[in-house]
Amino acid sequence: MRTRPTLTWEPTGAPLRASSDLTTIVEAVRAGKVAVLSGAGLSTESGIPDYRGERGSLRRRHLPMTFQEFTGEEQARQRYWARSQMGWRAMTKARPNAGHRAVAELAEAGLVTGVITQNVDGLHQAAGARDVIELHGSLSRVICLGCRRLSDRAELDHRLRQANPRFEATAERHRAARVNPDGDVELPTEAVREFRVVECTACDTGVLKPDVVFFGENVPPERVEQCRRLVAGSAALLVLGSSLTVMSGLRFVRQAAQAGLPVLIINQGPTRGDRWAAQRIELPLGEAMTAVVAQVQA
């Protein structure tokens, strides 16, 4: 039986009252040196669902893959790569939305000093942002757990197609319409039973894993330190579309607050970081960030 990772939190204390007044955020951005921390909520307007929102994958009883399950069970790897084979191609069709473009525009203007993203979709970079730290990695890369060689996901896609020439026709009859935030789709057991997983071409035996941080896996410490340096060198932290449920992102909110930096959040719904925030704006992100850019430039 698959067990559910710890993906929820219960608010304690008086809730932070949400606002729709962007004045404080506009003033912080206009002053410059803003670090951005983005989550899955930023990509929902690009058609990629989040985990915890009203239409999030957790509400559809989707259980994201855990590191322990992936590394410990051959069937889990088969299931993951079969489902990812369908979902990854849909992810590559996603395009940056107004929120991504707004962040890139503010970065180009020198007002955003860097982006820490919890997303694995590459949409910040596709929108033109350059200083992006992919906290949880990227679905565009694959890593061998044996020799640690990195390779391109498109290369693996080609190899999996060759190894499973009839799979997609079979899977298409079963697959769910939605792609999950971790880049897979729901498929029944009968659709993945014959799916063949391929090994690393460099060492011939290594297990291939997407270069993303699974639930239950630690973010590489050097990447965490890079994020800490970005926050430490900033004048404010702007959180976009994250409930901050998991510690990998929440720790930077706590760092900023402890250093006396204003923490400003735009998110649909309460977050685990509200207790450290000066303000939380509850507006659709594309709308909010477009308005921030317009007011900053006015």
Q: Residue 123 and residue 131: Cα distance in Å, rounded?
A: 13
Q: Residue 105 and residue 129: Cα distance in Å, rounded?
A: 8
pTM of the entire structure? 0.88
**End-to-end Cα, the chain, rounded Å:** 56
SS3 label, residue 75: helix
User: What pLDDT shows up at residue 157?
Assistant: 93
Q: Is residue 13 included in any domain, yes or no?
A: no
**Range of the structural domain that residue 284 is part of:** 18-48+96-136+219-298
Q: Residue 264 and residue 185: Cα distance in Å, rounded?
A: 33
Per-residue pLDDT 10s for the chain (298 aa) are 344 444 555 666 666 788 899 999 999 999 999 999 999 999 999 988 765 445 444 444 456 789 999 999 999 999 999 888 888 877 888 999 999 999 999 999 999 999 999 999 999 999 999 999 999 999 999 999 999 999 999 999 999 999 999 887 776 776 554 566 666 677 777 778 889 999 999 998 899 999 999 988 999 999 999 999 999 999 999 999 999 998 999 999 999 999 999 999 999 999 999 999 999 999 999 999 999 999 999 8
Domain CATH code at residue 254: 3.40.50.1220
Q: HEC states along 231-293? A: HHCCCEEEEECCCCCCHHHHHHHHHHHHCCCCEEEECCCCCCCHHHCCEEECCCHHHHHHHHH
Q: Is 124 a catalytic residue?
A: no
Exposed/middle/buried for residue 207 (C-beta within 10 Å: 0-12, 13-18, 19+): middle
23 plus 127 within the same structural domain: yes
Catalytic residue (choose from 62, 100, 124, 136): 136
User: What pLDDT shows up at residue 5?
Assistant: 47
Domain boundary among 197, 212, 227: 212
Distances, alpha carbon 245 to alpha carbons 30, 71, 155, 173, in Å: 29, 24, 34, 35
Q: What angle do CA 44, 46, 51 make, to 5 degrees?
A: 25
User: What pLDDT shows up at residue 56?
Assistant: 40
144 plus 83 within the same structural domain: yes
86 plus 125 within the same structural domain: no
Q: Is residue 32 included in any domain, yes or no?
A: yes
243 plus 273 within the same structural domain: yes
User: What pLDDT shows up at residue 185?
Assistant: 74
